[in-house]
Structure 1
Amino acid sequence: MNPQDYEVDIVPLTHSDGGGFAAIVPELPGCRSDGETPQEALDNAYDAVRCWLEAAEEMGRTVPQPRRLAA
């Protein structure tokens, strides 16, 4: 699967959380990342998706279909 097929939600982090932006992949539990800019957070999220998919495959777990491809 292509990491870019998964939806990524980008949200600003508060100053007390360190600032920058969080990137959350709702379809993949626990898959998230962050970055100083929205683009950096998105790029980091795609790396996190690659790692999540690789780990799921190694453990024999089912990988959810990306929502935008399932429709």
Structure 2
Amino acid sequence: MGEYKYELIVYWSAEDAAFVVDVPELPGCMAHGPTPTAAVSEAQMAIALWIDVARESGRVVPEPKGRRLLLA
């Protein structure tokens, strides 16, 4: 498994007492960990699983945009 180039948003969640990583280009793809580094590592695994399930389901897997997403 390589590194995926999707945008990752990392933030601290007091509710979960963990760092959370959201992958906005892949709906519902999130991960968490006790440190930012661990959370990003978990996110890479979550991305791989998300892509596998999407392909098995015949869904389109978006290409990474390769740039920061703009928030409205």
Number of aligned positions between the proteins: 66
Superposed CA RMSD in Å reads 1.4
Question: How far 1:4 sits from its partner (Å)?
Answer: 2.0
Contact 1:33 1:48 in 2 (8 A): yes
Deviation of 1:56 after TM superposition, in Å, equals 0.3
Q: Judging changes above 3 Å, is the alpha-carbon distance between structure 1 residues 7 and 41 closer, same or farther for their aligned structure 2 residues?
A: same
Gapped regions of structure 2 (runs ≥ 5):
68-72
Normalized per residue, the structure richer in helix is 1
- TM-score norm. by structure 1 comes to 0.86
CA shift for structure 1 position 34: 0.3
Identity in percent: 36
User: After TM superposition, what 4+ stretches of structure 1 lie above 4 angstroms from structure 2?
Assistant: none
Cα distance, 1:29–1:3 mapped onto 2, change above 3 Å: farther
Aligned runs of 1:1-71 on 2, under 5 Å?
3-14=3-14, 17-68=15-66
In the alignment, the residues of structure 1 paired with residue 59 and residue 16 of structure 2 have an alpha-carbon distance, to the nearest angstrom, of: 33
Unaligned runs of at least 5 residues, structure 1: none
CA deviation string 1:8-50 (max 9, x = no partner): 1100111xx1312000000000000100000000000000000
